[in-house]
């Protein structure tokens, strides 16, 4: 038999919303992957993976990685458009 459904599966919880957490996870993951490939020397390669692949010729610092990511982060320059008001429930 299948699992017994519970009546409160669709109830909002008091924990953080996925919508709020997802952008933070992507930012942290992006910084980590950049540091892993550009900012840290691998023992087996004796250089960073980016240097071994010929993508970069230097070892990057955390400051350089953060500055580069912040410079390329797209920020909206204008306010978002007007929203349509919802019709009252009848």
Tens of pLDDT, residue by residue over 33-88, are: 999 999 999 999 999 999 999 999 999 999 998 888 777 776 666 776 677 777 77
Is 22 within the bounds of a domain? yes
The whole-model pTM stands at 0.56
Domain that holds residue 58: 18-72
Where on the phi/psi map is residue 55: left (φ > 0), alpha (ψ -120 to 50), or beta? alpha
Domain count, the chain: 1
Q: What pLDDT was estimated at residue 77?
A: 67
Is 32 within the bounds of a domain? yes
Q: What pLDDT was estimated at residue 61?
A: 94
Is 40 within the bounds of a domain? yes
Is 35 within the bounds of a domain? yes
Stronger pLDDT, 31 or 42, i.e. the higher one:
42
């Amino acid at each position: 038999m299948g699992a017994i459904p519970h009546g409160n599966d669709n109830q909002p919880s008091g924990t953080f919303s996925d919508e709020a957490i997802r952008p933070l996870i992507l930012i942290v993951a992006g910084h980590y992957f950049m540091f892993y490939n550009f900012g840290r020397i691998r023992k087996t390669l004796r250089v960073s993976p980016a240097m071994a692949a010929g993508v970069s010729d230097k070892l990057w610092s955390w400051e350089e990685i953060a500055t580069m990511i912040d410079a390329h982060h797209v920020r909206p320059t204008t306010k978002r458009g007007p929203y349509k008001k919802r019709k009252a429930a009848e």
